[in-house]
Each structure stands twice: as structure tokens, then as C-alpha cells.
């Protein structure tokens, strides 16, 4: 029975090492929840950097980089933060979908994920509204363009006037004393 105990200990140790190595570098659901919550809620840059170090040690390099960027974002000077807020407001007021999406990508790269999400939602709404206008409006009625030359006196005298019979070609109107055409 004594030879069995070292074998059991070695087996359990091997199992522990295997489980530890298997999860190293993998973003498990628990790690993802911690990561996303930290990005959304955690305000202290030092705690964000500590978490980034822990993720780095676990082989989660991309997440560690994003946590460090978020820490840098939290430490930005007030004037830079105000400039970012202005850019966000302008993006939310814009109707240019390409520019809104470009701005959202910039915010995403700087780990301002909430602002990026809001901008992307705004871009979708702008695009949907433009598509709705494009498909729901009836076609504009055809409005003839005016002639390139003004109507001359001769042509005006030979037009059909409501309530009067059309004139034959070459027939002239008689002009009365007040200058009004007489039929």
C-alpha cells in the first residue's frame, strides 16, 4: 500500500498541473466577466494595472493591454478628457455614418468601449433612418423644366386661353381700345 500513495500524489499533482496549463492563455467565462466588469466599473488606475499584470501572467496579453489602456484613459488630464467629450458629442450629432463609425473605432482602440458602443448604435440609427427615407418616400413628381427662351409676344398670342377657342395659325387677335385682345 505504501507504493500506491506516492503514485496517487504524483497523479494528483500531474492533474493539477495539467488543469493549470490547460486554462493558461484562455479567456474563461469567469475571466471574461471579471475583465468586462473591470473595464466598465473600475475607476482606480492602480487596480486596473494590477489586474492587467495578473492577466499578463496568465497569458492573456490582449486583455492585459486593454486594461493598461483603460488605466491610462482614467489618468488623462481634464482638458484631454473634455476634448474627447466634445468629439463624442459631435459624433452623436453627426449624420455621416462613415465618420461616426471611424470615431467609434478610435474610441474602441482607446478602450472607451461605452462611448464606442453608443456611437455605433447612433450610426446604425442614422443608417436605418436614411434607408427608411430612401424606401418609404414616393418618387418626386416630374416637374417640367421651363423653356430656355422666354415666350415671345407672337407665341403668347397664339396660346389657348381657358374658355376661349384656339386660334388658327396666322390668325391675329384684334386689340381694342384698352389694349385687351378681342375675340
Give pLDDT tens digits for 29-86.
Answer: 899 999 889 988 888 999 999 999 999 999 999 999 989 999 998 899 999 989 999 9
Q: Could you report the per-residue pLDDT of 2-12, keeping only the tens digit for each?
A: 565 555 455 55
Question: What's the mean pLDDT when you consider all of the chain?
Answer: 76
The whole-number pLDDT of residue 138 equals 56
pLDDT in tens, 128-146: 988 888 876 555 455 454 5
Across the range 147-166, mean pLDDT stands at 49
Helix axes 78-93, 113-136, angle to 10 degrees: 20
Q: Which residues does 64 contact at the CB level (< 8 Å), separation at least 6?
A: 52, 53, 55, 56
* Interatomic CA distance for residues 46 and 173, integer angstroms: 97
Q: Which residue has the cell 500524489?
A: 9
Domain boundaries, the chain: 22-74, 78-136
pLDDT of res. 89: 94
Per-residue pLDDT at 160 exceeds 90: no
Q: Report how far residue 39's alpha carbon sits from residue 23's, in angstroms, rounded to the nearest whole number.
A: 22
Closest CA to 26 of 61, 72, 51: 61
Amino acid at each position: 500500500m505504501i507504493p500506491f500513495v506516492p503514485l496517487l500524489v504524483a497523479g494528483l499533482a500531474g492533474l493539477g498541473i495539467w488543469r493549470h496549463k490547460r486554462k493558461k492563455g484562455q479567456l474563461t467565462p469567469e475571466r471574461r466577466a471579471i475583465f468586462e466588469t473591470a473595464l466598465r466599473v473600475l475607476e482606480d488606475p492602480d487596480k486596473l494595472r494590477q489586474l492587467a499584470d495578473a492577466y499578463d501572467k496568465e497569458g492573456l496579453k490582449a486583455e492585459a493591454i486593454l486594461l493598461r489602456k483603460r488605466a491610462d484613459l482614467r489618468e488623462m488630464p481634464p482638458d484631454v478628457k473634455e476634448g474627447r467629450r466634445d468629439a463624442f458629442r459631435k459624433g452623436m450629432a453627426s449624420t455621416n455614418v462613415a465618420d461616426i463609425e471611424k470615431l467609434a473605432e478610435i474610441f474602441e482602440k482607446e478602450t472607451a468601449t461605452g462611448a464606442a458602443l453608443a456611437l455605433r448604435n447612433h450610426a446604425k440609427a442614422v443608417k436605418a433612418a436614411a434607408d427608411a427615407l430612401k424606401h418609404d418616400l414616393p418618387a418626386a413628381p416630374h416637374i417640367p423644366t421651363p423653356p430656355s427662351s422666354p415666350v415671345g409676344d407672337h407665341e403668347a398670342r397664339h396660346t389657348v386661353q381657358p374658355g376661349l377657342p384656339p386660334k388658327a395659325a396666322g390668325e391675329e387677335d384684334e386689340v381694342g381700345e384698352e389694349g385687351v385682345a378681342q375675340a
